[in-house]
Amino acid sequence: MAVRAELLRSHPVLPEWLRVEAVENADEAGRLSGIVDPGEAEAIELAKELRADWLLMDERKGRRLAMREGLAVIGLLGVLLLAKRTQLIPSAAKLLVRLEVEAGIYLSADIKILALRTVGE
């Protein structure tokens, strides 16, 4: 439950819609935690166990390991751009600013410009 512990460090109360699941194969998560942080290791193992369509992960080392483990990975910026492309949100740029201000997300100016250009912003 390393991901839950990580979340609780920044958020004293987790939202009701968030479901926390434990991995079934703790040994495999332990093996992976020799390569990445325990939270990333558990997320990768749980995604494999659930046969998840996507694993949301931004940490570069964790993303590489997840892909080596056969998982499809998307980052927060990818989710934001997908939401804009499918018209779930009116503006990726406005939401990106909110994420920077309210959640402390940081992206370089070059990355933001390139990413927002792909959705016409």
Cβ atoms within 10 Å of 79's Cβ, excluding its own: 13
Q: Could you tell me the pTM of the whole model?
A: 0.84
In the chain, where do the E strands start and end?
55-56, 73-74
> Residues of the chain with pLDDT > 90: what percent?
79
Shortest CA distance to 65 belongs to which of 89, 83, 41? 41
Angstrom distance (rounded) from CA 99 to CA 31:
33
- Give the pLDDT confidence of 37-63 residue by residue, as tens digits: 999 999 999 999 999 999 999 999 999
Residue 11's pLDDT is 82
- Reported confidence tier of residue 3, pLDDT bands at 50, 70, 90: confident
- Give the pLDDT confidence of 22-36 residue by residue, as tens digits: 999 999 999 999 999
Angstrom distance (rounded) from CA 26 to CA 49:
11
Residue with tokens 């079934």: 24
Q: What are phi and psi of 56, to 5 degrees?
A: -85, 115
